[in-house]
Amino acid sequence: MEEKISIWQGDITQVEVDAIVNAANKSLLGGGGVDGAIHQAAGPELKEACKKLGGAETGEAKLTEGFNLPAKYVIHTVGPVYRDGKHEEDKLLESCYRSSLGIAKKHHLKSIAFPAISTGIYHYPAEEAAQIAIHTILDFLEKQTSEITVILVAFDQRTENLYRKILKNIDTEE
């Protein structure tokens, strides 16, 4: 599985791929965390482009240009706010990854980088979120004819270690 998914620790705004995924809020107009960092790095044109999208629902994804980013595009997805795990948070988080990958496929993108969606201010438990991310991505890639390279961008060492542990466990299961 390593050839389909790679892991990189650092700032997602620096990754040179066709598209980076923004863990956005429903307005898509910028916020804190990764969302704020992407908007700041992309420049004011990103906010203007997002205004035209009319927001997004949780689990949905929408595409804009990347403007001043090294990435050509930004795929904005709205992750779920974690309450207690009993409000379909898992299905909504899965939908973020699936919708983002669907946009990448539709636009013939060859590379996409994901942050750890919903694990910051939305309080999704990191290990559970990483499991959902990796399993959803692998499931999507398995069923596709197009080749998409996926990079999981870990903001910190803890997240990178989680991703590596989960991928290693999947590789040993096969």
Please name which of 1, 13, 17 lies closest in space to residue 151, comparing C-alpha atoms. Answer: 17
Write out the E strands in the chain: 5-9, 19-24, 61-65, 73-78, 111-114, 149-154
Catalytic residue among 11, 18, 35, 171: 35
β-pairing, 149-154 vs 19-24, is unpaired
- Measured CA to CA, the distance from residue 14 to residue 153 in angstroms comes to 10
**Is 156 one of the catalytic residues?**
no
The catalytic site residues sit at 35
